[in-house]
Structure formats: C-alpha cells, structure tokens
Amino acid sequence: MPPIILLLRTLDACAPADASLVAGQEKRNCQIAHPWYQAHACLNLLLDVTIQKSLYSCILAANEEAPVESAPSSAKVTGIKASASAAPAGEWSPLVLWAQPTPESFEENAYLDANPDVAAAVRSGRLASGRVHFDAFGEREARRQRIPNAMIEVLRHEKLRKLEPLLRTDMPHSMRGGRPNFLSDELIAETRIVETENVSANAYDQATIDLVERHKSGLVLDCGAGRRDVYYPNVVNFEIVAYDTTDVLGVGEALPFQDSSFDAVISLAVLEHVRDPIKCASEIARVLKPGGELLCATPFLQPLHGYPHHYFNMTSQGLARLFEDRLTIESLGIPPGGHPAFALHWILTSWAADLSGDERRSFTEVTFGNIVENTAQELAERPFSRLSERTAKELACSFIMSASKPAHR
C-alpha cells in the first residue's frame, strides 16, 4: 500500500472520540489544537497540483485492496453511503463531511464549524462555549459537527481536470485557493456582492440525491451550492463564497461555462437571492445539455432570509415563467419542505422570538381558533404585535415604496 494512503487511513482511524482529548479548547477563533487536526492541516498544505495528481492515482489503485474510511461510523446520510471513502477504480463515492456528535465524541471547534449561529453566539459572549449549547439544546436538536477531510482537495483537482475544457475563455479569472475565480471587480459591482459571515448550508433531499446518482458518469452543476455537507465527485459546486466545498467562484448571472456543458443543473433556494433571476435562469438553460435535467426550488411564502440579500419570492407561475421559453417543464409541485406548515411555523417562531415577558406569554397563549375568529386588524392591535423593525420587515405581508425620477438623467 502506498505510504500516503496508509497515512490517510491512519489519520482517519485516529479521529478524536474522547471529549477529554479536547478539554480546554474552547478558546474563540482558534485553530483546533488536537494533533489529528494538525496532521490534516499539514496534509492540505502538501497537496499541491503535482502531488494531487499522484495521490489521486494512488487512491484509485489502493482501493482495490480495501475501502478508506474517513468519516466516523455515526455519520448517516439518506440515500448514500455514510462514509468518506474513495471508491474502487471506476466507481463513484461521495465524501461525508459531518457527523452526529455524542457527549463522548463532541469536539468544540468541529461543532462551531458546523453551526455558525452557535459560533456567532460564542464570539459575542452570549454563550460560554459550543459545549454549553450542545448539552442544553444541540443533542436534542440533532446538531452536527464538521469533519476535516483532506480528500476534498484531491477530488476537486480531478473534477477541475474534467471541467477545464468547459470553462469559458472570454471571461477573466484567477485561481483562489485552488479554485477558478471568475468574480471580477466588474461582476461584483454589477451584482452587488458583499462580504458576509452568513453560511448557507442545506442538505440535499432524496430527489436531489437521486438526480446526482443518475449522472454519476457526467457532471452536475450546483448553482449557488452553499457549503455542502457531502462532497460529490460529479457535482460542480458553484458559489460566490469560497467554502471548503466550493469548486468554482462566480455569479449566476454570468456562468463561466461553455454552452451545453452539464448533464444536470441544481438550483435550490438560490434564485430569490440573485439580483437578476431572469438572467440567471437564462444562463442555467444555456449551460444545460440537450436532454439534460434541471431541479429548481424557490420560496413562495418564506419570510426574509438574506445571504446577505433576498430579492424575489415566486409563485408557481413565476417559477415556470423563468424557464418555460427555454426548457420543457415536466412537473411543478410542492417539495416536502414547502408545506404551508413550514411557513406558518417560521412566522410564529420568529414572531415569538422577538417578544419577551408578558407580551411573549400572551402571544404563545393565542390559539388557532383565536386567530381565525378575530380579524387581522384586531390581532395587529394586540400588544404582542408590537414587533421590532427587523422582525416586522422579516415577516411583513407586503411593502410599499415611493420614488421620484431625477430631474437630469
């Protein structure tokens, strides 16, 4: 077995499981101190382009002997193998980058890495540590923790080798962290991209996993991927943010790929966040191969949720209108997370979170019967309806604008 493969297997087999190994590592904004994570960091530094090529070839050959386990056995993902192993030559396997922590396997920095809301609370001093959150809420909420995995760089290199002939040559770009970066100053200004600490991260549902698996031998574009918790060898993660799973940087309104490049395109909860969804939809259709598949989901009654911008929600007719002149729409329905109950729950929980004291108690005592028996105006006049400006804008039923045209334009 090649020594580098043995090293990877040894590292992954020695992932820290005992919480005592990481005691005292609750310092904010620090690097993980455990030697296991330091070893992974060093391996990342060694993986330059030349070594990546050699390592990828070694992995394919070595896997004829045995599978490589890079994820704890507790990791579970519906519809795929719950391991971060590289597959035998010619086969296909994703990298699982998360695990469900237990009180024994909990790791502070890995937990904060997977839960940006908790990390923000720790940085601000509202929480003493991620462990405090995990003990009080995280275990019950099935929160995850992130697994460092140097194999991402190896698979990304191979993926970009396949993608290179499909990149446009008429768009300026540079390399950023081993990724093609098409975020020119002009595109950033045109699309109003700003720096943000928000992390967009959502798991694939079964329909998306099925689509990805149907195109194992091809390429699937995840347009606006966010930070993925599973890294697929056939999915190009396209983003404006350089997450660890991002493959190519750019904007949806100007995709840096040749016409008819992808066997399928995924756009999940993205089009509401782009400044020009019509142009983005046109670009998606352009890079899709004839006969290729599109899976696109957009919000309708979801409240404001900017990353950092949120421009347009859509009716089913609006979503169809984006693509009907370019693609054949085969179905248009409601996904599992699109049931009205999710919108209602979101509105009520955000509303309650904005209240305190007697107003919160009064709000939580309201029944559905009270809501339907009273007029909206009567409810709006109750003390619990005095919301902060931020929450009122998040949950508003509508907006009104006034404007004027400059005298000289």
pLDDT for res 124 = 94
Q: Any idea of the CA torsion for 304, 308, 311, 315, to the nearest 10 degrees?
A: -50
Q: What gap in Å lies between CA 376 and CA 354, rounded to an integer?
A: 19
Dihedral of alpha carbons 122, 273, 246, 329, sign: positive
Indicate the DSSP class of residue 68. P
Phi, psi of 67 (to 5 degrees): -75, 150
Q: Which residues contact 241 (CB under 8 A, 6 or more apart)?
A: 196, 200, 226, 227
Give me the residues paired with residue 264 across strands. 220, 293
Cis peptide, bond prior to residue 308, ω within 30 of zero: yes
Break the chain into its structural domains and give their ranges.
3-146, 173-333, 339-395
pLDDT for res 265 = 98
DSSP characters for 336-392?
Answer: GGGSHHHHHHHHHHHHHHT--HHHHHHHHT--HHHHHHS-HHHHHTSGGG---HHHH
Tell me: the pLDDT tens digits for 113-151? 999 889 999 999 999 999 999 999 999 999 999 988 888
pLDDT for res 282 = 98
pLDDT for res 9 = 44
Q: Please list the ranges in the chain whose pLDDT falls under 70.
A: 1-91, 196-199, 307, 409
Contacts 24+ apart (CB under 8 A), 386-392: 386/359, 387/351, 387/354, 387/355, 388/354, 390/354, 391/350, 391/351, 391/353, 391/354
CATH code of the region 173-333? 3.40.50.150
Do residues 263 and 220 lie in contact, with contact meaning Cβ atoms separated by under 8 Å? yes
Longest dimension (CA), the chain: 75
Do residues 313 and 301 lie in contact, with contact meaning Cβ atoms separated by under 8 Å? yes
Q: Which residues contact 270 (CB under 8 A, 6 or more apart)?
A: 223, 224, 252, 280, 298
DSSP characters for 123-192?
Answer: HHTSSS-HHHHIIIIITTTT--EE---THHHHHHHHHHHHHGGGB-SSS--EEETTEEE---HHHHHHHT
Q: Exposure of 150 by Cβ count < 10 A (0-12 exposed, 13-18 middle, 19+ buried)? A: buried
